[in-house]
Chain A
Amino acid sequence: EAQVTQNPRYLITVTGKKLTVTCSQNMNHEYMSWYRQDPGLGLRQIYYSMNVEVTDKGDVPEGYKVSRKEKRNFPLILESPSPNQTSLYFCAIRDRSQETQYFGPGTRLLVL
């Protein structure tokens, strides 16, 4: 069964303090992506990666960075977090031959 792990699950930080949210998978899927979920806005894609060393911007990439140095990990980096990045973040994976997307449990971030 596909498993997507995110850490931490909850994080409170202050404006400007760099943070990283990790995402790892146990399925060797090529496609990984990050979303943020905000009330009334549904899910918006931040960044995605089609394979190792291949990353692309989603719909709301400003203020975020990602890297894909190995297939199983896809960390989300906030170099200088701001309060408008307070949100619920989800990592997701998908095998390109399949269509089902599997989501991690979410990371709730509060930026003060």
Chain B
Amino acid sequence: GNSVTQMEGPVTLSEEAFLTINCTYTATGYPSLFWYVQYPGEGLQLLLKATKADDKGSNKGFEATYRKETTSFHLEKGSVQVSDSAVYFCALLYSSASKIIFGSGTRLSIRP
């Protein structure tokens, strides 16, 4: 069945470091892929998405590229800030009529 696997946290980095959070998926066909972010005490909100192979989603300095050949959608940011501390969820949507499948989440902490 469809599934999402993301790297376990927590991930702790210093401010201005380079960030990568790995995400791989298993799905038949061509799902849409997402990264959601959950700031402390809040619900999840969409960070970025990509709907087809080789698409790059980007927002707030974060980027992720839909790689069908490696079934991956790794999240990257060139220079993280303390305000990026949050839990990040990778997710896929197989079709508009199906449910979104979430990874288990990766907690990111940024030290000043």
Binding site for B on A (CB under 8 A): 4, 33, 40-43, 45, 48, 50, 58, 90, 92, 94, 96-106
A-B contacts, 29 of them at CB < 8 A, read A4-B43, A40-B104, A41-B104, A42-B103, A42-B104, A42-B105, A43-B44, A45-B99, A48-B99, A50-B97, A90-B43, A90-B44, A92-B44, A94-B100, A96-B96, A98-B96, A99-B34, A99-B51, A99-B96, A100-B46, A100-B49, A101-B44, A101-B46, A102-B45, A102-B46, A103-B43, A104-B43, A105-B43, A106-B43
State in angstroms the CA–CA spacing of A58 and B49 once bound together: 23
| Given A94-B100, A98-B96, A105-B42, 11 new contacts (CB under 8 A) | A42-B102, A43-B89, A43-B102, A48-B99, A92-B44, A96-B97, A99-B32, A101-B46, A102-B45, A104-B43, A106-B43
Binding site for A on B (CB under 8 A): 32, 34, 42-46, 49, 51, 89, 93, 96-97, 99-100, 102-105
Interfacial chain A residues near B42, Cβ < 8 Å: 105-106
Interfacial chain B residues near A40, Cβ < 8 Å: 104
Interfacial chain B residues near A100, Cβ < 8 Å: 46, 49
Q: Name the prevailing secondary structure of the A interface residues.
A: strand
Interfacial chain A residues near B96, Cβ < 8 Å: 96-99
Interfacial chain A residues near B51, Cβ < 8 Å: 99
> Contacts A43-B89, A99-B32, A103-B45 given: A58-B99 contact, CB under 8 Å?
yes
Interfacial chain B residues near A92, Cβ < 8 Å: 44
